[in-house]
């Protein structure tokens, strides 16, 4: 199984292929709760903005983008895998917003009919670290969100959301602070800070050979070491040149070591031997890490 790692390519392909299926019915708006925007609903999902606190008391604030889905439907991680549409966050309509950094909770992996995707079911909150231009002025967050939802097929959805926070010397935690904190806790942490080391070495012989490669193939042994490293059951590699990675194969390990076979098809000039990648690894029980490394 192969999947393109650069999610921008997947986003464009899915968006244009499915544009005719864009939901056209009017969105229904529910009344907002203090600390949140109104829900924007469609038939199978709804989305809103949340605030971690009731007002502004410094130059940064934490907000959340919450998506709730009907049973059986899912929405996607920043890299959806073999198919799907990753969320696209457009903050350009905001006022007094200097920057917005979206954090990505570790997803679930789904295998269906030979395709592997990385997604969320039921409910997800994307935490967002917002930096204000002037903390003495109100913050108006305006989000134009384009995202995909899927049951048997992918459907692109668009929602326009807004939330205003004002300076407050007595700002306190909102009703949604605990939910946002739980989402932040599920975001992958830097591997070194979490006590893990990650190494990649070339493999002379694969433990499981790839038979459907269409390009030049390389095998790498990926070794993750750290306390309870065996809990890291999923690995994904991302880079920017269009390299194709096949599904990682777990080779074994011990309590504090986990080894994977990584097979990838070279998509770069011959004079570039090393491949810089961004690695994310996570397990079903909440442990999740990331790091940058170079594949041989």
Condensed to tens digits (0 to 9), the pLDDT of residues 252-266 reads: 888 899 999 999 987
Ranges in the chain, pLDDT < 50:
1-30
Contact indicator for 205, 148 with CB cutoff of 8 Å: no
Question: Domains of the chain by range and CATH?
Answer: 2-187 (2.60.40.1250), 190-295 (2.60.40.10)
User: How many C-beta atoms lie closer than 10 Å to residue 234's C-beta?
Assistant: 18
Nearest to 192 by CA among 277, 292, 262: 292
8-state DSSP, 105:
-
Question: What's the pLDDT at 140?
Answer: 98
Residue 149 burial by CB count (10 A; 0-12/13-18/19+): exposed, middle or buried?
buried
- Alpha-carbon distance 69 to 122, whole Å? 5
- The residues, any chain, with a CB within 8 Å of residue 263's CB and separated by 6 or more, are 206, 210, 213, 217, 218, 219, 220, 245, 246, 249
Question: What's the pLDDT at 11?
Answer: 40
Question: What's the pLDDT at 36?
Answer: 96
Distances 246 to 85, 218, 235, 264 between C-alpha atoms, Å: 20, 10, 11, 6
Give residue for tokens 């109104």: 38
N- to C-terminal Cα distance for the chain?
22
As beta bridge partners, residue 288 has 282
Contact indicator for 191, 289 with CB cutoff of 8 Å: yes
Contact indicator for 263, 219 with CB cutoff of 8 Å: yes
Question: What's the pLDDT at 31?
Answer: 56
Q: Three-state DSSP class for 58?
A: coil
Phi, psi (5° rounding) for residue 186? -90, 0
Contact indicator for 87, 12 with CB cutoff of 8 Å: no
- Alpha-carbon distance 281 to 128, whole Å? 21
pTM, two decimals, is 0.85
**To 5 degrees, how large is the angle CA 174–CA 175–CA 178?**
90
Nearest to 207 by CA among 195, 197, 216, 219: 219
Condensed to tens digits (0 to 9), the pLDDT of residues 133-143 reads: 999 999 999 99
Question: What's the pLDDT at 15?
Answer: 41
Render 195-218 in DSSP notation, one character per residue.
Answer: T-EEEEEE-SS-SS--S---S-EE
Question: What's the pLDDT at 172?
Answer: 93
């Amino acid at each position: 199984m192969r999947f393109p790692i650069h999610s921008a390519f997947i986003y464009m392909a899915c968006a244009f292929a499915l544009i005719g299926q864009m939901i056209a019915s009017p969105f229904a708006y529910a009344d907002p709760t203090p600390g949140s925007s109104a829900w924007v609903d469609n038939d199978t999902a709804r989305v809103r903005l949340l605030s971690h606190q009731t007002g502004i008391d410094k130059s940064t604030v934490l907000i959340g983008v919450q998506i709730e889905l009907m049973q059986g439907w899912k929405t996607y991680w920043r890299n959806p895998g073999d198919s799907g549409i990753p969320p696209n966050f457009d903050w350009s309509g905001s006022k007094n917003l200097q920057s917005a950094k979206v954090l990505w909770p570790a997803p679930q992996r789904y295998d269906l009919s030979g395709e592997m995707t990385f997604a969320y079911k039921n409910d997800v909150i994307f935490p967002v670290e917002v930096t204000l231009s002037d903390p003495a002025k109100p913050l108006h967050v305006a989000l134009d969100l384009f995202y995909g939802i899927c049951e048997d097929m992918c459907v692109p959805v668009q929602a326009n959301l807004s939330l205003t926070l004002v300076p407050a010397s007595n700002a306190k935690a909102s009703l949604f602070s605990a939910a946002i904190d739980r989402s932040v806790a599920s975001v992958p942490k830097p591997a070194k800070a979490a006590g893990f080391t990650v190494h990649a070495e070339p493999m002379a012989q694969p433990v499981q050979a790839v038979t459907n490669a269409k390009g030049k193939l390389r095998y790498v042994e990926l070794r993750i070491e750290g306390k309870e490293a065996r809990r890291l059951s999923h690995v994904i590699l991302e880079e920017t040149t269009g390299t194709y990675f096949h599904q990682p194969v777990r080779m074994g390990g011990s309590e504090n070591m986990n080894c994977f076979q990584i097979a990838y098809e070279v998509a770069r000039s011959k004079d570039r031997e090393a491949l810089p990648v961004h690695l994310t690894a996570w397990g079903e029980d909440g442990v999740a890490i990331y790091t940058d490394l170079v594949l041989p």
